[in-house]
Amino acid sequence: MRPRTPLFAGLLSLTARAGADPTWPAPTDELEEIMYQLQGFGARLFSQKISPCSNEASGPGRQNAAEWLRVGFHDMSTANTYFGTGGLDGSLQFELTNTENTGPGHASTLEFMGNFLSAQSSIADLIAAGVYASVRSCGGPVVPVRGGRKDATEAGDPGVPQPQNTISIFTNQFDRMGFTVPEMIQVTACGHTLGGVHSQEFPDLVPAGSATNDEAGLDSTVAAFDNKVVTEYLANTTQNPLVVGPAVALKKDSDFRVFSADRNVTMKALADPTAFQNTCKTVLQKMIDTVPGDVVLTDPITPYAVKPVNMQLTLNTDGTTLLLSGYIRVRTTDLPSTSISGVTLTYKDRDGGNDCGSCATATTARELGNGFDESFAFFPISADIDTATGISSFTVAVNLNDDTTQEFDNNGNSYPISDAVLLQKPQSCLVEGSGALTVSALVRNDRTSLPVNLAVSYLVPRTTGDGNPVPALLDETVPMTQGDCVGDYTFYSATYSITGGLSSKARLTIVSGDGEDVISDAFNSAGELSGTCTTYTGSAACGGVTTSTPPTTSPTTTPSPTVTTEDPTSPTETLGHREMIGGYELVSCWTEGATSRALKGAAFAYDDMTLESCMGNCSGFVYWGTEYGRECYCGNSLDSTSTEAPLSECDMVCGGDSTEYCGAGNRIELYSTTASQTVTPTPTPTATLAVKPTVAEFSFVGCVTEGDGVRALSADSYADDDMTLESCAAFCSGFNYFGTEYGRECYCGNSVHASSTSAPLSDCSMTCAGDPFEYCGNGNRLELYSNGAAPTESPTVTTTPPPETEPTTPPTTVATPSHKPTVLPYTLVGCWTEGDGVRALSSSSYSSGTDMTVESCAAFCTGHKYFGTEYGGECYCGNTLAASSAEAPLTDCSMTCTGDPLEFCGAGNRLELYSAPDVDVPPPPPPPSQPTALPGGWTFDDCYTEAAAAAPGAARSLAAEAHADDDMTLEACAELCDGYALFGTEYARECYCGDVLDEGAVAAAGGPSECDMPCAGNVSEFCGAANRLSVYARLV
């Protein structure tokens, strides 16, 4: 047996399949069509607002492709990979009114994507698909897209990088997202190769009227995915408003600070066009694959070579035949359509046999469609099938002009389709204006004793005050009424009124049966129904139907389960649920936990998964289970929030054995040595698994949760595959508390974070990795012990007694954070906002993701009148407070310090502000001036315009050499231009040399006063301004 790769933090290490179709139907089928069927026949039109790349469908100066790419980053960028929260989860729709997500582009992008929202295409997945589409539309690389993202139901934490941030804050923010410094630079460059900065969002960086359509491009090719953003930066010719211009004086030149974070090493590597494209493919995939910890992504979505599309069964008017209709889509990217003579569909009867006459239908007609890189031919299918024998599956043959044939059998499974229940479209209709829906369905007569329901999934626009443009996805189930019997089928009908005005986007599912016997015709588009229902005019004598085996599933059908006993001597086996595997007995189908894995002991994933191999992986565990056809999980206990599900919901075939079921999405095919779910494993004859009342000097407190975004115990920690309570207690000796978590983790502390709360003792049900007779917490659950020496200086203490049924233990003593009134010589002023586009305190700053405290910030700011902490780990100093900074409620400053969970350190855009009244504030520096003479014989000439500003395409006013530096001074520029007759400074940090001024340069109309930007390295001197050069001359 080959080695298995463990899983960590609930995330699979997945690799793309090479050379093989997915097995149809797949959970990603809807996304596959949205991504690849873009134009021509069957077009889903997902790219219509971003193709071509220059498309400004949302308004002049707004390249929609750039906005789609930005949405991907903004949605992902609040991720916290340390806590497994945030990431690409669609939460941006709830965050549009905060100051981190300015401009109309986010809302218009999400509004458009909301048209594609469904149970099989989440907004988060659509945002990921939008990154792929926008990059490809502009000539960039193919960014692989996986499915499986779950949409958030509320706003995430703040934390989108802002232009005014310092480089230390940027690096901390990207580290939180899981990006290294080189990756920070790469994803910024890749994201800023499209579009520009708009006056509407950043009027201080792009003054109104200063750029065409009020958009200043981030590079000279705003509608091309190229590396101009890199090469122009390195050549000092960039006009990127986040590198040059007003941003420099405002300290908002964020691209410059990010790009130069490693002294341009990464940017120089990106100067190679091929390296740029390859790097962007990698880093943008990492961006969209950054997801919450409980999300398991699918394999990358690739187009099928052959895919059935819109396959449908309809009862003909003769009442004795079914019309099989739809299309066989053939990928013609590498197999030209002109080389195909036609396709042949060969099907099996209801019982999987050949009692169906010719059992084949052929077609030569075709329709053509395409995407960015793919092309397709659609071959229409139309065949009459006798209702007496029915249909269960089919295979496809693609016939070529050279008389050869390519066979497709769905990876050995055939393409399943069920004739047990079907939507009868001609007798169904939708009035889109009112949303009045009438649905007719047919159920085979052998299933008429079972209930039949209509499930409607539909979109309703939101009316919330946060401006969320994404409609809500609602579900409704309506019982269907039995009607006339026609031949082997019986009619059922239902009516429903779809509210919200988006009825055409509804999806309809006909469900026959309940519990373990459910078959459905699912995910039918309501928009394909006519506005008028036709009357069924056919008739046939009501008849009975017999089946020799349970019917095969349709593309949208949940199969009726079959439980069999494993028999290794049997020559052939049919697909079913195996009652016994080795020494383990089938429990049933179970859900994953609400916020964590149901089984947490170990995990594996591989494409040839079988029940037997999973059992071997989990040897020694009480429970094991398979999920999603290729995943295996082990454990000695089940998460308390995992619940039993109908066995029919575990309907995904094992990747390595087509006769076995291996769970499904969020469904585990669960096996146990006891064949029943228990909170704890069965005791062994030699010892009993139980809570230990005392461990060394510590006494048991109870089961508690982790804090909200912070550790409950944060002083020290370690992890060990031989974890025991005793080893953790020894490690934490000298601390007031210790706790074990997740079977193998140990945490210490002198206080428990205030947001940690008591949990049911049964939640701490995971045994210790090093001792199966001790409990070591669970996912997000601490087995908490105390030595009774809790701190007495805590501002607030709460006591929670344990449940009466549990062993008597000391109460839980929990310290809560507070706002420190004094940190000598400073006193608390309150909670204050940042300034409007400027820092409230701008003299000095630093950040720390692990060690920030109020005391450390006070020490750093010694000598300043003010200091303030922000966002848990940032420290700012200053002698004056920005005039636009305003007081906010003290409760707004609610984030605890990264170095002390008992202190508050502001919040997003909120400063925990302190003042030292007795500090002597140094007098402000004298206002800057333009020196008339400089050492070396240089004399001030005048303030000149840039030639390029007067005549686009012209050269610089001084074009011989160019330099840029955040420490630029007049003296430094003079030294750089030694040997030339002229030098000039511009934009505070740029230096240009030459012997003559370009003829397009003219003296500024307002004289030297227009060169009014202080030098970046010496605020007492002027170094030009936007498109203004402070020019000095000397004889050489």
pLDDT in tens, 478-511: 999 999 999 999 999 999 999 999 999 999 999 9
Measured distance CA(214)–CA(953) in Å, rounded: 19
Q: Read off the pLDDT band of 1022 (50, 70, 90).
A: very high
Residue 796 in this model has a pLDDT that exceeds 70: no
DSSP H or E segment with residue 625: strand 623-627
Which residues, including other chains, have CB under 8 Å from residue 395's CB and lie 6 or more apart? 345, 346, 347, 407, 408, 409, 410, 414, 415
Q: Which residues on adjacent β-strands are paired with residue 329?
A: 307, 378
DSSP H or E segment with residue 937: none
Q: Read off the pLDDT band of 410 (50, 70, 90).
A: very high
Residue 684 in this model has a pLDDT that exceeds 70: no
Q: Read off the pLDDT band of 563 (50, 70, 90).
A: very low
Cβ-contact 106, 114 below 8 angstroms: no
For the four alpha carbons of 25, 27, 28 and 31, in that order, the dihedral sign comes to positive
Q: How far is CA 591 from CA 407, 621, 709, 837, in A?
A: 37, 19, 25, 48
930-943: average pLDDT: 94
Measured distance CA(543)–CA(22) in Å, rounded: 39
658-666: average pLDDT: 88
Cβ-contact 516, 550 below 8 angstroms: no
Q: What's residue 152's pLDDT?
A: 95
Residue 9 in this model has a pLDDT that exceeds 70: no
Residue 167 in this model has a pLDDT that exceeds 60: yes
Q: Read off the pLDDT band of 419 (50, 70, 90).
A: very high
Residue 548 in this model has a pLDDT that exceeds 80: no
Least confident residue range of 57-71, 214-228, 861-875:
861-875
Q: What's residue 866's pLDDT?
A: 94
CA 93, distance to chain mean position in Å, is 13
Mean pLDDT computed over every residue of the chain: 85
Q: What's residue 47's pLDDT?
A: 95
CA 551, distance to chain mean position in Å, is 38
525-545: average pLDDT: 90
Instruction: Show the beta-strand stretches assigned E in 461-554.
Output: 472-479, 481-486, 489-497, 507-514, 517-525
Determine whether 544 is exposed, middle or buried from the number of CB atoms within 10 Å of its CB (0-12, 13-18, 19+): exposed
Q: What's residue 1019's pLDDT?
A: 83
Q: Read off the pLDDT band of 686 (50, 70, 90).
A: very low
Residue 7 in this model has a pLDDT that exceeds 80: no
Closest among 794, 785, 886 to 836, alpha carbons compared? 886
pLDDT in tens, 589-607: 999 877 667 887 677 777 7
Cβ-contact 567, 576 below 8 angstroms: no
Mind giving me the DSSP string for 537-591?
Answer: -----------SSPPPP-TT-PPPP-EE---TT-S---SBEESEETTEEEEEEEE
95-118: average pLDDT: 93
DSSP-derived 3-state class of residue 1016: coil
Residue 439 in this model has a pLDDT that exceeds 70: yes
436-447: average pLDDT: 97
pLDDT in tens, 610-643: 999 888 877 767 888 998 788 888 887 787 788 8
Q: How far is CA 1032 from CA 516, 529, 966, 1013, 1027, in A?
A: 87, 77, 20, 16, 16
By percentage, how much of the chain surpasses pLDDT 70? 89
CA torsion angle 896 900 902 903 (round to 10): -60
Q: Read off the pLDDT band of 815 (50, 70, 90).
A: low
Cβ-contact 137, 65 below 8 angstroms: yes
Cis peptide before 300 (omega within 30 of 0): no
DSSP H or E segment with residue 283: helix 273-288
Q: What's residue 564's pLDDT?
A: 33
Which residues, including other chains, have CB under 8 Å from residue 959's CB and lie 6 or more apart? 992, 994, 998
Tokens of 338: 């002109």
Q: Which residues on adjacent β-strands are paired with residue 346?
A: 360, 395
Residue 919 in this model has a pLDDT that exceeds 90: no
Residue 546 in this model has a pLDDT that exceeds 80: no
pLDDT in tens, 855-912: 999 999 988 999 999 888 888 999 989 888 899 999 889 888 888 888 899 887 789 9
pLDDT in tens, 120-144: 999 999 999 999 999 999 999 999 9
By percentage, how much of the chain surpasses pLDDT 90? 56
Q: What's residue 792's pLDDT?
A: 32
Q: What's residue 812's pLDDT?
A: 38
Pairing mode, if any, of strands 938-945 and 215-217? unpaired
Q: What's residue 948's pLDDT?
A: 56
Measured distance CA(375)–CA(330) in Å, rounded: 9
Measured distance CA(1010)–CA(634) in Å, rounded: 72
Instruction: Show the beta-strand stretches assigned E in 839-997.
Output: 844-847, 866-870, 874-878, 887-888, 896-897, 900-904, 910-915, 933-934, 938-945, 961-964, 982-986, 990-994
Q: Which of 457-461, 754-758, 1003-1007, 1009-1013 is the most confident on average?
A: 457-461
DSSP-derived 3-state class of residue 603: strand
Q: What's residue 949's pLDDT?
A: 53
